């Protein structure tokens, strides 16, 4: 049972308590459809982001829909492979793992390019990975795509120092700006979701090539609902709520995955697979 179950009651940002939320989920009668969102940012922000879609899915499916997440990407992958999510929304490397190891089926992804970025304080003199040798660098978790990409980038440029993991992208930004870290990795989308004040104080050291971003993966348990879910996602994309969602989070709508797009993520999926063994 997921520890972090996000429901409408917490829309205004109540503190999430793992034990009490798990108890609430167990107490809820009847089947519940679980929309699992990888912890790319704080639980509060995830809750807010996915409320409009949750409401539309609940109406279409005729059953309660809960938005759920996990403490970190590694735990999310474990729960995903244990079929705890009816739809898992996660970055391409974990989507590939879900496809090959969990019998999930890819549905859609976002139209906007997914890129990872290396951020530093705009006032700093850091210009390269070598400048970060001996300095504190932050990632989200060992199995986050932006973290894996960032570690590869450091090593490719002569920096094999270990990095520190934190729980959310806004924490990365604040720790960099407070001087507690020299640099941090996050997705471009999460950078764009930061306040304008935070964005103005940060500088890109490097930006990745496009990678498979957050992909909606359908559990094999829900195969009979595939047509309803496809129709609901299309309707959400065309709705006023959906258009507002895409505009607010710079996602540009939904699109189908390209041929072999997930296969290209296998090297990163392999690293996640190895970490779970």
Picking from 184, 207, 230, the residue at the C-terminal end of a domain is 207
pLDDT-based confidence at residue 29 (cuts at 50, 70, 90): low
The pLDDT value given to residue 185: 96
Mean pLDDT, residues 86-109: 97
The pLDDT value given to residue 127: 94
Asked if residue 184 and residue 67 are part of one domain, the reply reads: no
Asked if residue 132 and residue 187 are part of one domain, the reply reads: yes
Is-contact 193 45, C-beta < 8 A?
yes
Asked if residue 155 and residue 108 are part of one domain, the reply reads: no
CA gap 32, 60 in Å, rounded: 13
193-228 pLDDT per residue, tens: 889 999 999 999 999 999 999 999 999 999 999 999
User: What pTM was estimated for this model as a whole?
Assistant: 0.82
Picking from 183, 207, 231, the residue at the C-terminal end of a domain is 207
> Domains in the chain: how many in total?
2
Asked if residue 258 and residue 222 are part of one domain, the reply reads: yes
Burial 135-174 (b: 16+ CB within 10 A, else e): ebbbbbbbbbbbbbbbbebbeeeebeeebebbebbbbbbb
The pLDDT value given to residue 17: 34
- Is residue 4's pLDDT more than 50? no
Mean pLDDT, residues 123-135: 96
Give the structural domain span for 181. Answer: 116-207
CA gap 203, 71 in Å, rounded: 28
pLDDT-based confidence at residue 40 (cuts at 50, 70, 90): confident
Picking from 192, 207, 222, the residue at the C-terminal end of a domain is 207
Query: Could you tell me if residue 195 is left (phi over 0), alpha (psi between -120 and 50 degrees) or otherwise beta?
Result: beta
- Is residue 13's pLDDT more than 50? no
């Amino acid at each position: 049972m997921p520890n972090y179950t996000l429901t409408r009651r917490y829309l205004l940002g109540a503190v999430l308590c793992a034990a009490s939320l798990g108890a609430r989920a167990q107490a809820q009668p009847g089947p519940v459809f679980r929309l699992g969102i990888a912890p790319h940012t704080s639980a509060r922000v995830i809750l807010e982001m996915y409320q409009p879609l949750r409401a539309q899915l609940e109406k279409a499916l005729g059953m309660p829909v809960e938005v759920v997440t996990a403490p970190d990407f590694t735990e999310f992958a474990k729960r995903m492979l244990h079929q705890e999510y009816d739809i898992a929304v996660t970055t391409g490397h974990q989507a590939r793992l879900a496809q090959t190891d969990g019998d999930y089926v890819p549905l859609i992804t976002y139209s906007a390019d997914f890129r990872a970025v290396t951020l530093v304080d705009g006032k700093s003199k850091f210009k390269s990975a070598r400048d970060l040798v001996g300095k504190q660098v932050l990632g989200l978790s060992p199995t986050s795509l932006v973290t894996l990409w960032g570690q590869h980038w450091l090593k490719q440029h002569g920096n094999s120092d270990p990095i520190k993991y934190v729980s959310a992208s806004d924490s990365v930004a604040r720790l960099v700006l407070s001087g507690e870290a020299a640099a941090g990795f996050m997705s471009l989308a999460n950078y764009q979701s930061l306040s304008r004040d935070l964005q103005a104080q940060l500088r890109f050291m490097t930006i990745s090539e496009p990678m498979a971003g957050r992909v909606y993966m359908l559990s094999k348990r829900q195969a009979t609902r595939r047509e309803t879910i496809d129709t609901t996602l299309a309707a959400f994309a065309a709705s006023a709520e959906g258009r507002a969602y895409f505009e607010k989070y710079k996602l540009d709508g939904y699109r189908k995955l390209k041929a072999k797009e997930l296969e290209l993520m296998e090297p990163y999926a392999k690293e996640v697979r190895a970490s779970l063994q």
